[in-house]
Amino acid sequence: MRSHTLLLPLLLALVAPLASADVDPRKRSVEKNPTSAPAESRSRSRSEGTAPAGPTAAGNADLHAAIALEQRALQAARDGDGDAAALALAELATRFPGVLPAVHPPLLRFAVEEASRGGNARVALLQALVDADYASRETGDGSGYAYELALERLQQGDLEAAARAHARIQAPEQLVLTLIDRRFDPLTGGDEAGIDIEAASRRHVDRLRTRAFLDQNVLALQVVFGQAQLVVGDFAEALALAEQVEASFAEAQPWLDPDQRFSMRLVRMQAQFGLGREQEAVADLAAAVQAGDAVGGEFPRLLLAALQCSRGDYAEALKTLEPVPAPENLLGLLRASIVGCAASRTGDTAAFAAALAWAREHRALMPRVYTEVLLYDSRLDEAAADLIARLRDPETRADALIDVQDFRELPTAPGERILKANGEALLARADVQAAIAEVGRRRAWPIYKP
């Protein structure tokens, strides 16, 4: 398990729904409501980008038909019917592909996430999105949907269709997944020779750089661009981008989304760490918390506590967390991870037991947090059993395989040494190695975790 768990992978994964969930439909959004913005009345902020004209050139009848299909999908989302939403959006994407960039991105995410896996509705939507060469206006990429389609086609035994979908994958995380998951072996054989991940990651940065330059008012796209720079270690460039975005807020531009602003602040913090400017990053975050900065809600305080714990300031981390509730979402999992880190080191057995119980009860939100809390307390047998179960479950396998990869790392912080040592001991176990080999493979990669 990677040592910088509290900084790069976990925090990015928790913030990703604010900005980049379209990149990977496996990541569930907790902040965006798919039914919050009806098609006919939704006003688009400059942080989202400007909607294209859509099918109006084909006449009012086509326009009304496209709106009706999105309305049908919205109603299905309100009813919690992922299959019905997927069918409506698949028809929209097939008949009116030009209007896809105007469709509410969380609605597409809901349909892909909630439609029955292996079902006709989900496959039809994914196929329509890939055929339309869909790339979210917020992320500039559609690799997550191409990945999901390739996996669906493989499970159907349609290698030709799977290969076509696989050829559309460009983002580094999905490329890595196709090489480490044996379900993709009919397409890749697990052979890295044909895919240079570092070069592919830099091409991804270059594509996003172009999109970000052309759509400078789409703040979510700037965030994703910054995150891609972090993956290849371009920390100075990511920091410059984050500071440029923050300067635009100083000019009081009201159309910029405060959620995206916080996401970019996180990019800045990680870039500072990558450049060895940890003290500056912690001071900036502490100042924001002290000033009561509302951007990001409770997240800045949680992040400050996470950094304090990673630096070995365990008592201070618990003190920072005192005013923060344990919400029933991913932020609550971050809180449980921090408490598990701090309480295991301070000997607060009651606090640790509560954190472990909370992580166990809510592990479906992000299963690896429960594994990590176990590792903080050196419970290797339980952690091994949990990781093996995740690897064997097709629903959690991809995330589990990503978690065991050997990506580039920042220097191990003092408070994370126990996690690093126990993580290495976990991965050295024969039962864990056998479970990985059964469904995938573990490799070293020349990039930071996507």
**pLDDT above 60 for 50:** no
Q: Decide: 226 and 220 in contact? Cβ < 8 Å.
A: no
Mean pLDDT computed over 39-52: 37
* Domain around 69: 50-136
Phi, psi (degrees; rounded to nearest 5) at 444: -90, 140
Task: Answer whether residue 131 is part of any domain.
Answer: yes
Average pLDDT over residues 300-305: 89
**Would you give the DSSP letter of residue 443?**
-
Does 235 reside within a domain?
no
What is the average per-residue pLDDT within 345-357? 94
Sign for the pseudo-dihedral over CA of 16, 17, 20, 23:
positive
Among 42-51, 213-222, 368-377, which stretch is predicted with the lowest mean pLDDT?
42-51
In the block, residue with structure tokens 């900084």: 7
Contact assessment for residue 309 and residue 415, using Cβ atoms and an 8 Å cutoff: yes
Q: Are 138 and 100 in contact (CB under 8 A)?
A: no
How many angstroms separate the CA atoms of 97 and 365, rounded?
32
- For the chain, the C-alpha Rg in angstroms (whole number) is 22
- Quote the pLDDT of residue 253: 56
pLDDT band at 25 (very low <50, low <70, confident <90, very high): very low
User: Span 165-172, mean pLDDT?
Assistant: 96
- Please state, rounded to an integer, the average pLDDT across all residues of the chain: 85
What pLDDT was estimated at residue 137? 80
Residues 6+ apart with CB under 8 A from 306: 6, 7, 11, 317, 334, 337, 338, 341
Query: Among residues of the chain, what percentage have pLDDT more than 90?
Result: 62
Question: How would residue 379 be classed by pLDDT, with cut points 50, 70 and 90?
Answer: very high
Checking if the pLDDT of 49 tops 70, the result is no
- 112 in a structural domain: yes
pLDDT value of position 440: 96
Close Cβ partners of 430 (under 8 Å, ≥ 6 residues apart): none
Residue 390 inside a domain? The answer is: no
Q: Does 66 map to a domain?
A: yes
Domain contains 63: yes
pLDDT digits (tens, 9 = 90+) for 138-164: 788 999 999 999 999 999 999 999 999
**Any domain includes 114:** yes
**Looking at residues 23-51, what average pLDDT do you find?**
41
Record the pTM: 0.86
pLDDT (mean) for 189-216: 87
Interval 354-369 mean pLDDT? 93
* 22 half-sphere exposure, CB direction, 13 A CA radius: 23
Q: Of the given ranges (25-34, 290-299, 328-337, 362-371), which has the lowest mean pLDDT? A: 25-34
- Beta bridge partners, 147, equal none
Residue type, 72: R
Percentage of the chain modeled with pLDDT above 70 = 83
In a domain, 210, yes or no: no
Number of domains, the chain: 1
